[in-house]
């Protein structure tokens, strides 16, 4: 290990120890049997199924709005947004509330898992063989023992045009 002393006079430790490499945390969600990760710093809340008020004339992917501690939050059905068939049952559906440009959005997903910590240097760009629907809304992947963790780009998901999704 070596120490560097920057202009401010405080030393910074630099290490080559792989056990101390940078890590990244993701909240994991399931969408159509695929594991996705949303950067934990973008997640504001995780919600169990709850009443959503429909919005007349809203696009199909806008499930409606909900009240979250006095704030109106737009609920987005991620499956519909991506051109996937709707779930037959909403029993297990959960929502992940994310912040995008100061606005809160509730992303309705098939299920929410755990917070997963992965090594930052294990990140890979999207594979050519990755489903085109997933490629449009992800920044890359991590290979896990259980399969792939696709990193969800919330910004891309929310700005995706309807015709681009399908």
**pLDDT tens track for 3-17:** 443 444 443 344 455
Classify residue 40: in a domain, yes or no.
yes
Flag residues of the chain having pLDDT under 50. Answer: 1-15, 163, 166
pLDDT in tens, 49-71: 888 999 999 999 999 999 999 99
Q: Is residue 14 part of a domain?
A: no
Q: Is residue 115 part of a domain?
A: yes
Question: Does 81 fall in a domain?
Answer: yes
Whether 163 is in a domain gets the answer no
Q: Note the pLDDT of residue 130.
A: 83
Domain containing 27 equals 22-156
Task: Provide the pLDDT for residue 77.
Answer: 94
Asked whether residue 61 is assigned to any structural domain, the reply reads yes
Domain total in the chain:
1
Q: By C-alpha distance, which of 97, 86, 82, 100 is closest to 43?
A: 97
Q: What pLDDT was estimated at residue 19?
A: 56
87 part of a folded domain: yes
């Amino acid at each position: 290990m070596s120490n560097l002393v920057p202009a401010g006079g405080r030393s910074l430790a630099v290490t080559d120890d792989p056990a101390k490499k940078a890590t990244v945390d993701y909240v994991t969600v399931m969408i159509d049997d695929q594991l996705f990760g949303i950067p934990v710093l973008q997640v504001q809340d995780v919600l169990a199924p709850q009443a959503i008020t429909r919005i007349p004339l809203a696009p199909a992917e806008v499930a409606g709005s909900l009240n979250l501690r006095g704030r109106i939050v737009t609920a987005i059905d991620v499956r519909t947004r991506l051109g996937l068939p709707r779930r037959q049952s909403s029993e297990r559906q959960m929502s992940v509330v994310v912040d995008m440009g100061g606005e809160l959005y509730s992303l309705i997903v098939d299920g929410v898992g755990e917070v997963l910590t992965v090594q930052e240097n294990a990140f890979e760009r999207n594979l050519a063989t990755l489903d085109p629907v997933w490629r449009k809304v992800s920044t890359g992947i991590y290979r896990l023992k259980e399969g792939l963790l696709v990193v969800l780009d919330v910004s891309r998901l929310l700005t995706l045009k309807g015709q681009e999704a399908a």
